[in-house]
A = this chain, B = another copy of it.
Amino acid sequence: MTREDKALSPFNEHIAALRSILSDEGVQVGADAAAYEEGARFDRGVAAFVLRPTSTAEVSAAVSYCVRNEIPIVPQAGNTGVVSGSTPDASGTQAVLSLDRLSRNLRLDIDNRSVRADAGILLSDLNAALEPDGLFFPIDLGANPRLGGMLSTNAGGARFLRYGDVRRNVLGITVVLADPEGSIVTLGSSLRKNNTGVDWKQLFIGTSGAFGIITECVLNAERIPRQNAAALLVPSTPSAILPLLREIEGRVGEYLSTFEAMSGNAIRLTLQSIPRLKNPFVGGQVPNYVLLVELTRTWEPRDGEQSLDKVLETALAEIWDTQPDLLADALFGPSQQLWMLRHSIPEGLKQSGRLVSCDLAFQRGDVMKFCDTVTTELPIRFPGVIMCDFGHVGDGGVHLSLVAPHGSEAALNPDLEGNLRSWIYEKAVNDFGGSYSGEHGIGRKNQAYYDKFTPERLKSWARAMKAVTSPSELGVPRLG
């Protein structure tokens, strides 16, 4: 269906009706809809139209209209997801329901350390609003999503080790169901403790809108760190990474907020792709693996108290003393500069060639074993593809990124992505008991794998819950 067809399409009547509900600005079509049709990772579809409600009541009215007229809805928040979970398909028959104007209400309860917020608010705007009171929402991501997307994908991020995932930081939600009434349901509230039956909000967190559209939420806020210390550690061998994690956890305990691993390949390609990045390694020699370790403390330094730099130095010195075979080198530096290298990797790899990025998770003890297996087998099965793993070793997550350099034979193979994903996912799930989606979610990209790896019984549960929550077509992944 082309845009010209759309102008003549039967949707014109619906567009007029929905404009009377949401105002002209609340319904966009044609060129104005284009930004909502393309996702963060080259996924592109065609929307029948884009709805932009400004309140839960408007979401309800818009959803009710679509359900009664059998128009499938794809909810979209910040559209920063990487699994094609927030964009329409190519049919031109789906309505995108964007939360980008549902961003008016934000109320901090400083005593409760919680914030009630519309689901269309950007993470950066939330944190800007909390900052004057010394608080923040502790999910650290490279992207800047809207809250509804973070909840519906249960985002994780680089400080999971300390603050957990989004699920852990949600106290309550308001959802709109895809039923003829566009029913509004409140689940949970500002309470931190509430054991009065089923915690139904859990069903809506991490399920990409399959059971309803999250329109408002109450979130836990944490105190902003006032001190930090960071270092790049070079493990003697990849097998030293896990003992190093245990040693550091044992020696700096409460302060540890990040334990990330970056493979030499990932760093090298990133430094090549993004020349403004500084190569921090002696003689420019990038090691096989590098760890980013960060300590944070939430109160202001006091006289007589050791700085976190000193705490980290002491802990590393103790490790050198007692287990000299674990740590080859340690580079200290301003936290922000070290993080820049880490946060540049996704973009750096994207520029380096054709990128297939798998978002895996394992028991912590299995991460490096898995990477080792892939490193060994990859050149045989996929010659020319470069293994560029990096990620959250501290919580078992790894972004297993595979790069086929521009112009290489592998890059030209149309089946490369499917073949790589199938091989990696099956090895991860079947051989290692791992997850094929540590934090990114299902979306269109992982639908086939959800279908394959999910027991039929759990699909039937999803169908049963969908039937009583949002029986109409809603969201991208089919969980039933």
Chain B's nearest CB lies how many Å from the CB of A359? 8
Contacting pair B361 A193 (CB below 8 A): yes
CB distance from A190 to the nearest CB of B (A): 5
Count copies of this chain in the complex.
Answer: 2
Q: Are B195 and A435 in contact (CB under 8 A)?
A: yes
> Which of A106-114, A141-149, A264-272, A328-336 has 4 or more CB atoms under 8 Å from chain B?
A106-114
What are the residues of chain B within 8 A of A435 when measuring CB–CB?
191, 193-196
Q: Mark A236-261, 1 if CB is under 8 A from B, else 0.
A: 00000010001001111111000000
Taking CB atoms, residues of chain B closer than 8 Å to A464 are: 464-465, 467-468
Chain B hits for A165, CB < 8 A: 193
Interface size on A, residues (CB 8 A): 88
A185 to B460, CA, bound (A): 13
Contact status B363-A111, CB under 8 Å: yes
Mark interface residues in A425-437 (1 if CB within 8 Å of B CB, else 0): 0000000011111
**Cβ–Cβ contact B365 & A111, under 8 A:** yes
Interface 9-residue window, one of A35-43, A57-65, A301-309: A301-309
Q: Give chain B residues whose Cβ lies under 8 Å from the Cβ of A299.
A: 250-253
The complex places the Cα of A361 from the Cα of B363 at a distance, in Å, of 35
One of A21-29, A87-95, A152-160, A279-287 contacting the partner = A152-160
**Interface membership of A202, Cβ < 8 A:** yes
Interface SS of chain A: loop
Decide if A197 touches B450 in the complex (CB within 8 Å): yes
* Chain A window 106-146, contacts with chain B (Cβ cutoff 8 Å), 1 for yes, 0 for no: 00011111100000000000000000001000000000000
User: Do B396 and A191 touch (CB < 8 A)?
Assistant: yes
Q: Which of chain A's residues 168-194 have a Cβ closer than 8 Å to chain B?
A: 168, 183, 185, 189-194
The answer to whether B195 touches A441, judged by C-beta atoms less than 8 angstroms apart, is: yes
Interface stretch, picked from A1-9, A70-78, A203-211, is: A203-211
A40 to B297, CA, bound (A): 42
Using A193-B397, A202-B199, A253-B297 as known contacts, say yes or no to A364 and B465 having CB atoms under 8 A apart.
no
Q: How far is the CA of A21 from the CA of B306 in the complex (A)?
A: 63
> Residue on B with the closest CB to A187?
B458
Supply 9 further A-B pairs (C-beta < 8 A) apart from A304-B306, A461-B468: A156-B195, A167-B199, A191-B438, A193-B361, A197-B454, A198-B206, A254-B255, A306-B306, A464-B464
Chain A interface (Cβ within 8 Å of chain B)? 109-114, 134, 153-154, 156, 160, 164-165, 167-168, 183, 185, 189-200, 202-203, 205-207, 223, 242, 246, 249-255, 297-299, 302, 304-306, 314, 361-365, 392, 395-397, 433-442, 446, 450, 453-455, 457-458, 460-462, 464-465, 467-469, 477, 479
